[in-house]
């Protein structure tokens, strides 16, 4: 009877949970499975490897150089991936899953990684 009531409780909780919360939990599990650092626990100047889904990709024009910024989300938080001198990068678009490596820096709105090494992830990776 205990296993059944636990299963019913989980089902009830999943019905009450918002879609955003479920997606966040899924991203967090995926990042944990990949062995990457949780974005929500990063500290400035730390070398890191993070993974998640790009929620937004924006192009910022600068007087000196173009700047491409992708907001990476892993269920624990978001970080900006900043590519200097780039207008676009094939595969870098909202909804893409990727793994990125670099050094964390403090940004205006959230932490950043400048010119990260990255790898696009396919389904199930």
Domain residue limits, the chain: 1-33, 34-124
| pLDDT tens-place string over residues 90-116 | 999 999 999 999 999 998 889 999 999
- Location of structure tokens 């790009």: 54
| 34-124 CATH | 2.40.50.140
Q: What is the DSSP string of 73-95?
A: E-SS-EEEEEEET-S--TT-STT
This prediction's pTM: 0.79
Per-residue b or e along 4-38, where b marks 16 or more CB atoms closer than 10 Å to that residue's CB: eeeeeeeeeeeeeeeeeeeebeebbebbeebebbb
Residue 23 predicted with pLDDT over 80 = no
């Amino acid at each position: 009877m205990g296993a059944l009531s636990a299963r019913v409780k989980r089902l009830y909780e999943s019905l009450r949970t918002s879609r955003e919360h479920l997606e966040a939990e899924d991203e967090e599990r995926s990042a944990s499975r990949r062995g990457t650092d949780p974005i929500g626990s990063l500290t400035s100047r730390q070398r890191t490897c993070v993974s998640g889904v790009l929620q937004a990709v924006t192009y910022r024009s600068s007087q000196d150089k173009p700047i491409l910024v992708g907001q990476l989300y892993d269920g624990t938080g978001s970080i900006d991936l900043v590519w200097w001198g780039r207008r676009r990068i094939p595969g870098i678009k909202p909804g893409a899953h990727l793994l990125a490596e670099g050094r964390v820096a403090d940004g205006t709105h959230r932490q950043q990684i400048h010119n990260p090494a990255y790898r696009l992830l396919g389904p199930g990776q």
